[in-house]
Amino acid sequence: MSPAGTTIDQPLRSLGTVTAETVMSESENTIERESMEVDVVVVGAGPAGLSTACRLMQLAQAHGQELSVVVLEKAAAVGDHILSGAVIEPTALNELFPDWKELGAPLHTPVSHDEIYFFTSQHKAVKVPNALAPRTMHNKGNYIVSLGQVVRWLGEQAESLGVEIYPGFPASEVLFDDAGAVKGVATGEMGRGKNGQAKAAYEPGMELHAKYTVFAEGCRGHLGKQLISTYSLDRESSPQHYGIGLKELWRVDPKKHQPGLVVHGAGWPLSEHGAAGGAFLYHLEDHQVALGLIVDLNYANPFLSPFDELQRFKTHAKIAPTLEGGERLSYGARAITKGGFNSLPRMSMPGAFIVGCDAGTLNFSKIKGTHTAMKSGMLAAETIFEVLQDGDPGGKDHTHFASNMERSWLYPELKASRNFGPALHKFGPYLGGAFNYVDQNWLRGKMPFTLKDNTLDHASLHEATAAKPIEYAKPDGVLTFDKNSSVFLTNTNHEEDQPVHLRLTDPAIPLGVNLPVWAEPAQRYCPAGVYEVVGPAEAQKFQINAQNCIHCKTCDIKDPSQNITWVTPEGGGGPSYSAM
């Protein structure tokens, strides 16, 4: 994979006047960064970001107005970093592109039927009658998709509308004006060595100044995280909650393939360790199935390994027969923002908006976030276009975005699901499931009170001395696999001679605090083998294998000392998911 940043000058210059900005690099050396003015910058070419860009250009064309919209994407190609189950509800897509079928959107497999199970042990499962399942888990009218392919298609639509998309250009820094408003972003440097020194091919980032910037980085976006803190956007919200979703794509025996079947489950194997989450098995086209495990990141046992729990899940008597004789094609993992309505921050700020999973618009009760992410981006686009039409110079906090959201279907949908996650956390899968059935099916989400979960996911770990160690079976290489062979399937690549993008606030904490207190859980919660404690007991080292990082962001969330900060590596680095 060639460094995408080597082409930064020419394509970005094509957009407008370029000027020079003098800034200080981290090494205190004065450098010049070129800058450019555009109307709107969107950070992240996922469902939310591309929907924002498409809607902006649709409105501009409908009103005969010129608009410059730039989308920055850290992956080498649009869709490369996208990973989801995924069953997609087409509500937002129907609004954005009513003729999506004629345009060739890759929604090829309509859901044929649902099955829901409580896995009570490795060999037993109780099937939940559809009539007793929360109505939000019924998938009639939805489609099983590769979200990466859907996002690539959205990127094509955006470009056909006149959006400028630049893959391989991560937004690494938020830019502020003198009044404290967001005035744009800067792309990341290229060509700085692991020692922090500029190499011969060094290129500084470029500044993109915009009237409005939309942050759509996905779960735990590192700039979104900064903005939420800077503007205290979450001061009236419950703490955000997260899960890690691990997924494999398999090609199975045609005789075992049931196109359109959606299977969801809860319980084993996580229930053996007092952890919560869910599992899925989706039958796509071409004799392929997507399977996965979502592990809530509020688990308490520091010896739990989400990756190994996924491998265990595949051995269940309801799952293994489908995979027998099949071939594993892909693997990946990504954190999920799942706090829902109660944890939503304010989504507008001076000069900017935060949308999609960067804010946390996933509807946990539906186990879906694509349609809600898309709608949040479309609402941001409509808000921005309205004020630009009136001659808005930019930099303002358009708090009426919240009113626009409340008037749409997005707000009542999320509000109706506000109790779903807290009920499961407080009461467990059985009592919580019964609560949610009553809330969703009888009361349509209008329970006269709101449950809150004000715990912090990173603070949930028990000390190692109070937890039961977990011994995981050795993988067989047929049904179950190790981390190294799995990471190989992600096609992950980073330039090795660059600063480590997993920053430790205090390098002494992993061995001085995390290891004696929690047996350094980073060794286990990371699904890609990035973190290791190596060497003999008297000379141990905390090793970060940054080359393995698949950009899941779990370390930034789950580290009990909150000592790890994920930042963008050089552009184009990370996984390359072909159909996840």
> At what angle are helices 47-62 and 370-389 packed, to 10 degrees?
40
Amino acid at 445: G
Of the residues 52, 172, 370, 554, only one is catalytic, namely 370
Of the residues 51, 52, 68, 84, only one is catalytic, namely 84
- Please work out, in degrees rounded to the nearest 5, the angle formed at the alpha carbon of residue 141 by the alpha carbons of 279 and 579: 55
- Concerning whether 235 is annotated as a catalytic residue, the answer is no
Calpha distance 395→397 (Å, rounded): 7
* 143, HSE (Cβ side, Cα atoms, 13 Å): 17
Cβ proximity of 53 and 47 under 8 Å: no
Of the residues 220, 328, 334, 346, only one is catalytic, namely 334
- Concerning whether 549 is annotated as a catalytic residue, the answer is yes
- Please work out, in degrees rounded to the nearest 5, the angle formed at the alpha carbon of residue 426 by the alpha carbons of 515 and 280: 80
Calpha distance 343→442 (Å, rounded): 24
Cβ proximity of 111 and 143 under 8 Å: yes
**DSSP states along 471-493:** PPPPP-SSS---HHHHHHTTT-B
- Concerning whether 552 is annotated as a catalytic residue, the answer is yes
Give the rounded distance of the alpha carbon of 553 from its chain centre.
8
Of the residues 213, 417, 555, 576, only one is catalytic, namely 555
Helix (H) or strand (E) holding 289: strand 288-296
* Coil, helix or strand at residue 210: strand
- Please work out, in degrees rounded to the nearest 5, the angle formed at the alpha carbon of residue 466 by the alpha carbons of 464 and 472: 60
> At what angle are helices 47-62 and 147-160 packed, to 10 degrees?
20
- Concerning whether 219 is annotated as a catalytic residue, the answer is no
Of the residues 549, 554, 568, 576, only one is catalytic, namely 549
Calpha distance 331→327 (Å, rounded): 12
Calpha distance 205→34 (Å, rounded): 8
Calpha distance 313→279 (Å, rounded): 8
Of the residues 54, 219, 357, 552, only one is catalytic, namely 552
What residues act catalytically?
Answer: 84, 334, 370, 526, 549, 552, 555
